[in-house]
C-alpha cells in the first residue's frame, strides 16, 4: 500500500475540537472568520468544552485564567537562570515547559492553570532575555491585555489588544497539525499534560512548522538591508532550491483564511508603527509569488510582521505561536485522554530481507 507523503490527507482519528474540511477552518463548528472578533477566553472555552460559554461562565473563566497568571518564586528563579543561556528561545521554552511540571505549589495543575502559566512563563523568558524586570498581571484586565503587558512592559491600547486577541484566536488551533498530533500521541500513553506540551513545543520548533514565521522576517530583513529588489531576491532563492517561507499550505490551496484576516492587521499596525516599508515588501513578494507559483501566503507570512510591530525579537516569534497554540494543544490532550486509546500505527518495511548473520564459529 502506497501512502501519501507525510500522511497528507490521511484521516487517523476523529475530533470535535476543530476542522479544516473543505479548506474551511472551524473551531467546534464555528467558522474562524466569525470567531476572529471573539475574545480569546471565549475561544479557549469553546475549544475545551466544544460550546460557547454563557456570560457568567465567561466572566468566571476569564477571572480564573488571569488569577493563575503568576509563577511560584522558585520557578521564576530557575527560569531566570536558563533564559539567559545563548540557545534559541524555543530551546529555552522546551526546558521551561518541562520545568513548569516539576516546580509547583499545588499537587496537580488543571488546563486553566497550565495555560496561564505557559503565557506567563513565555512573557518572563522574553523579559529576562531583554534584561528587563518581570511584570505582574493585573487582575482587572483580560488575558490578552495582561499577556501583552507581561511581555512588553507597556499597557497596550484597546486597539492593540484587539489586534493581538485576533492573532491569538487565529493561532489557537488547527486540527491535527504536526505539534498537535505529537501532543495527542503522548497523551494517548496517559502521560501528564506537561509531557504532552513539551513534546508539542519540540515539534513546533521546526522551521517547516512554527519556525517559519521567524524565517519570513529574516527574508524581509535581508531584502531591506541589502536594498535588493524583492522579485530578484525571490528568484535567486528559488534558483538555489530554497523554499520561500510563508507561502503554500497542504490544505488551503486557494489561500489560508487566517492570512486574509492577518493581512489587514499587518497593514494597519505597520503603518502605525513606521514599518510600512516591510508591508510594502510583503505585498510585492505576495503578488510575484502568486504570479510565479500560484501559491498564497499562509498564517506565518503576516504574523511575522505583526510580531515585529509589537517590538518582539524575531527569535521569539515561534514562542508566541506556542503561547497561542497551547489552548488548542490542551483541548486535544483533553480529548485524547478521554478517548483512552493508545496511538500506535504500523509501518511498511521496505528495507533488505532474507539476510542472515554470519556464523563465526569455527
Catalytic residue positions? 249, 300
Nearest-10 Cα torsion for 198, 200, 206, 209: -160
Q: The C-alpha cell of 221 is what? A: 530583513
- DSSP H or E run through 90: helix 89-100
How far, in Å, CA of 167 to CA of 123, rounded?
16
3-class DSSP assignment, residue 150: helix
Q: Do β-strands 30-31 and 18-19 pair in parallel, antiparallel, or remain unpaired?
A: unpaired
DSSP string, 231-242: HHHHHHHHHTT-
Q: Which residues contact 255 (CB under 8 A, 6 or more apart)?
A: 296, 297
How far, in Å, CA of 175 to CA of 183, rounded?
12
Neighbours of 101 (CB within 10 A): 17
Query: Which phi and psi angles does 142 have, rounded to 5°?
Result: -80, 180
3-class DSSP assignment, residue 18: strand
Amino acid at each position: 500500500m502506497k501512502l501519501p507523503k507525510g500522511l497528507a490527507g490521511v484521516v487517523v482519528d476523529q475530533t470535535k475540537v476543530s476542522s479544516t474540511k473543505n479548506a474551511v477552518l472551524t473551531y467546534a463548528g464555528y467558522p474562524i472568520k466569525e470567531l476572529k472578533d471573539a475574545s480569546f477566553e471565549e475561544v479557549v472555552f469553546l475549544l475545551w468544552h466544544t460550546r460557547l460559554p454563557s456570560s457568567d461562565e465567561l466572566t468566571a473563566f476569564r477571572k480564573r485564567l488571569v488569577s493563575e497568571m503568576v509563577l511560584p518564586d522558585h520557578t521564576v528563579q530557575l527560569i531566570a537562570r536558563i533564559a539567559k543561556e545563548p540557545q534559541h528561545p524555543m530551546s529555552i521554552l522546551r526546558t521551561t515547559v518541562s520545568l513548569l511540571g516539576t516546580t509547583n505549589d499545588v499537587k496537580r495543575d488543571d488546563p486553566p492553570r497550565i495555560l496561564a502559566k505557559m503565557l506567563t512563563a513565555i512573557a518572563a523568558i522574553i523579559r529576562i532575555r531583554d534584561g528587563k524586570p518581570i511584570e505582574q498581571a493585573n487582575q482587572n484586565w483580560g488575558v490578552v491585555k495582561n499577556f501583552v503587558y507581561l511581555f512588553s512592559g507597556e499597557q497596550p491600547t484597546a486597539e492593540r489588544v484587539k489586534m493581538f486577541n485576533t492573532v491569538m484566536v487565529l493561532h489557537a488551533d488547527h486540527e491535527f497539525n504536526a505539534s498537535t498530533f505529537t501532543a495527542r500521541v503522548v497523551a494517548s500513553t496517559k502521560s501528564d499534560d506537561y509531557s504532552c506540551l513539551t513534546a508539542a513545543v519540540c515539534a513546533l520548533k521546526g522551521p517547516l512548522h512554527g519556525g517559519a514565521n521567524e524565517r519570513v522576517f529574516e527574508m524581509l530583513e535581508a531584502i531591506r538591508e541589502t536594498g535588493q529588489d524583492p522579485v530578484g531576491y525571490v528568484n535567486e532563492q528559488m534558483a538555489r532550491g530554497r523554499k520561500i517561507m510563508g507561502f503554500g499550505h497542504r490544505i488551503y490551496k486557494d489561500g489560508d483564511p487566517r492570512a486574509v484576516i492577518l493581512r489587514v492587521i499587518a497593514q494597519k499596525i505597520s503603518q502605525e508603527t513606521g514599518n510600512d516599508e516591510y508591508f510594502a515588501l510583503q505585498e510585492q513578494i505576495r503578488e510575484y509569488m502568486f504570479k510565479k507559483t500560484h501559491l498564497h501566503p499562509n498564517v506565518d507570512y503576516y504574523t511575522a510582521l505583526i510580531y515585529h510591530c509589537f517590538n518582539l525579537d524575531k527569535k521569539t516569534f515561534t514562542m508566541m505561536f506556542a503561547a497561542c497554540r497551547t489552548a488548542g494543544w490542551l483541548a486535544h490532550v483533553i480529548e485524547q485522554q478521554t478517548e483512552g486509546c493508545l496511538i500506535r500505527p504500523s509501518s511498511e518495511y521496505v528495507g533488505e530481507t532474507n539476510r542472515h548473520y554470519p556464523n563465526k564459529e569455527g
